[in-house]
Chains A and B, each alone.
Chain A
Amino acid sequence: MSTAMNFSTKTFKPRPPDKGAFPLDHFGECSAFKERFMKCLRESGYESSACRPLSKAYLECRMDRQVLPQLMANEPLEKLGFKDLIDEKPEAKSDK
């Protein structure tokens, strides 16, 4: 994949995540949400956009259990890129 630019190629520098680490769901409390999301992905041909409401539901599940660090807990979902889904809510109230 590298072209003649080899000599000026920088080494890959991993960057830490913006909002820190995601604590693991050791007890699988949100597994049902994850399964629904994965099922949606498979059925939509892995179109991430199609399954955004479900990914939002998964994050809400984690936040509800307050396992996400304070940073995430106080972060309104719109800041996490779900603003359009929240605006839609008054018209189509999705089941949680």
Chain B
Amino acid sequence: VVPGETALAFYKAKNPTDKPIIGISTYNVIPFEAGQYFNKIQCFCFEEQRLNPQEEVDMPVFFYIDPEFAEDPKMAKIDLITLSYTFFEAKEGQKLPLPGYQ
């Protein structure tokens, strides 16, 4: 991935149960310091997503790495950034502390 260039990535989620599940996901970027340069244009995170029984769905993330990443001397040794998502089951009435998101 080239800093400044938009890129698309896919994850896949499956609901192996026989009940519909409503999930919500959050993400993490490793190494931590690279997270500030990671910009998501669109993704499936922070919103509840419903998966029907046995449903398997592709989950796209459209993002770019801030071009300033290439200028930051602290990032010079980083050539692998890992983006991970954790899917939680949304519980009735529970609101995740979403940072400034309506």
A interface residues, Cβ below 8 angstroms from B: 1-2, 9, 12-22, 24-26, 28, 31, 34, 37-38, 48-49, 52, 55, 58-59, 68, 72, 80-82
What CA separation (Å) do A31 and B58 show in the bound complex?
8
Q: Can you offer 11 A-B residue contacts whose CB atoms are under 8 A? A: A14-B28, A16-B101, A17-B40, A20-B42, A21-B45, A24-B44, A24-B49, A24-B58, A55-B8, A81-B5, A81-B64
Taking a contact as CB atoms under 8 Å apart, the answer to whether B47 and A21 are in contact is yes
| A-contact 0/1 string along B17-55, CB 8 Å cutoff | 000000000111111100100011111111101001001
Taking a contact as CB atoms under 8 Å apart, the answer to whether A15 and B58 are in contact is no
Q: Output the nearest chain B residue to A26 by Cβ-Cβ distance.
A: B57
| A-contact 0/1 string along B67-102, CB 8 Å cutoff | 000000000000000000000000000000011110
Q: How large is the interface on B (under 10, 10 to 19, 20 to 34, 35 or more residues)?
A: 35 or more
Taking a contact as CB atoms under 8 Å apart, the answer to whether A28 and B58 are in contact is yes
Cβ of B38 to closest chain A Cβ, rounded Å: 8
With A13-B99, A24-B57 known as contacts, the answer to whether A52 contacts B5 (CB < 8 A) is: yes
Taking a contact as CB atoms under 8 Å apart, the answer to whether A59 and B29 are in contact is no
With A13-B99, A48-B2 known as contacts, the answer to whether A72 contacts B10 (CB < 8 A) is: no
Cβ of A11 to closest chain B Cβ, rounded Å: 9
Taking a contact as CB atoms under 8 Å apart, the answer to whether B40 and A80 are in contact is no
When A and B form their complex, which 8 residue pairs have the shortest distance between CB atoms, in order from nearest?
A81-B6, A55-B8, A17-B40, A21-B47, A16-B101, A48-B7, A48-B1, A22-B42
